[in-house]
Amino acid sequence: MAEFRFQAMDRSGQLHEGDFTADTEAVVLEALRERGLIPIKVVKASSIPGWLTFRPKIKADSLALFCRQMAMVLRAGLSLMNGLNIMILQIPDRMMKKEVERMYREVQTGKALSEAMSSTESAIPPLLARMVATGEASGNLAEIFLRMSDFYEQEHNIQTRIKGAMVYPIILTVVALGLLFFVFRFLIPQIETLLSGTGAQMPLLTRSIIGIAHFIQGNLLLMIIAVAALVFLVRYWLSTPNGRFRKDRLISKTRVMGTVTTNLVTTRFARTAAIVFRSGIPLLQGLELIRQNVGNAVAEQALDYAMEGVRKGESLAYNLERANFFDPMTLQMVRVGEETGSMDEVMEQIAEYYNKEAETGITQLLSLVEPVMLLIMGVIIGTIIVSIMLPLFDLIGNMKV
């Protein structure tokens, strides 16, 4: 027997979460259906804390390619099994290929594709699994795959943009740390030996820099352990709901970084909402899927408020506003979508607008980061150079006298 954790919806849209002891995941799924619940996620409980584990995610571009190719083969009239078999041969990404092979085996045993995507071993995002379930129920699976391919292509474009913006700052940081290591490990000890041999009086700045160099050399192992322990503790704290919420709230409050983050999260929220609402998923189930996909604890709180309000018959926009995360224009657009019954179209417009705003913000952020990092590096390196040169100048002056 094993412990499983589950999330499921009842017919009224109420979310249910809990633990279930069973031999297999299939037993849990059957038990939830017997209770009249719609399974959303069933995972095997692990004795290892989540913050100590690392589970790689399938890349967005691999998901986009899989969805687009599945849409093509299904539109061509091929069966699902034939389509999965073709994907095993076509998919270049190794992780995605393993997932397709696993899904192929499970579908062969009689499982629906959405059930194979939602199994304990699956690395497929819950959003894709739920959308596939919707496509299976409505008979438009090829159309769902096509929509999801566009969704993941847009996700990939955003991720590529962010990674590209981070390359230069990371290079600067690595170069700065390497230079500091060289200076404190090799250069300063040589300068200290030279100055000590002359008996020259060293200025306070020079003595301070030499003292720092001695501390680093004498306590390097201790410093490495301290940094590792700090990373360990921070990672643990960020794995807690409170730590994650405080981190996301702090970032959202910063001037430039907060604006960029808010725009990115709003884009993901709106794009997910557009595809969920267009697919005809009930509102409460759709909001839960959107919540799982926004990737920000403050936005998740807003969606928790929204689900709570929707169950009471209240306005979606009003409850989103309670979390104080989304900007007034987003909230106003959601109100318009509620009043006109065109939430999917409104969400598409929001996603397009904030995607452009996010790209502009990333460019502006990068233009600020580069000079700030160069300034910090210049101050540190300049201080070290001045501390080295001051006694040398004094020594040269004394020699001339």
Q: How far apart are CA 315 and CA 312, in angstroms?
A: 9
Instruction: Judge whether 79 and 171 are in contact, CB under 8 Å.
Output: no
- Look at residue 400 in the predicted model and tell me its pLDDT: 53
Other beta carbons within 10 angstroms of residue 34's beta carbon come to 8
Instruction: Judge whether 217 and 392 are in contact, CB under 8 Å.
Output: no
Other beta carbons within 10 angstroms of residue 95's beta carbon come to 14
Instruction: Judge whether 113 and 136 are in contact, CB under 8 Å.
Output: yes
pLDDT in tens, the chain (401 residues): 567 777 776 665 566 777 777 767 777 777 777 777 777 667 666 544 554 455 678 899 999 999 999 999 999 888 889 989 988 888 888 899 999 999 999 898 888 888 888 777 788 888 888 888 888 877 888 888 998 999 899 888 888 887 877 787 788 888 888 888 887 777 777 777 776 766 666 778 878 888 888 887 788 789 889 999 999 999 889 888 888 899 999 988 887 788 888 998 999 899 888 888 887 777 887 888 888 888 888 898 888 888 888 888 888 888 888 888 888 999 999 999 888 888 888 998 999 999 888 888 888 877 777 788 888 888 888 888 887 777 777 666 665 54
Instruction: Judge whether 271 and 265 are in contact, CB under 8 Å.
Output: no
Instruction: Judge whether 279 and 134 are in contact, CB under 8 Å.
Output: yes
Phi and psi at residue 52, to the nearest 5°: -95, -5
Instruction: Judge whether 69 and 92 are in contact, CB under 8 Å.
Output: no
Structure-token match 């998923």, residue found: 281
Q: How far apart are CA 21 and CA 355, in angstroms?
A: 44
- Look at residue 343 in the predicted model and tell me its pLDDT: 87
How many angstroms from the chain centroid is the CA of residue 201? 54
Q: How many residues does the chain have?
A: 401
Instruction: Judge whether 91 and 100 are in contact, CB under 8 Å.
Output: yes
Closest listed residue to residue 255, CA positions, set 97, 368, 136, 143: 368
Whether the predicted model's global pTM rises above the 0.85 cut: no
Query: What is the secondary structure of 171-233 as a DSSP string?
Result: HHHHHHHHHHHHIIIIIHHHHHHHHHHHTPPPPHHHHHHHHHHHHHHHSHHHHHHHHHHHHHH
Q: How far apart are CA 396 and CA 242, in angstroms?
A: 59
DSSP 342: -
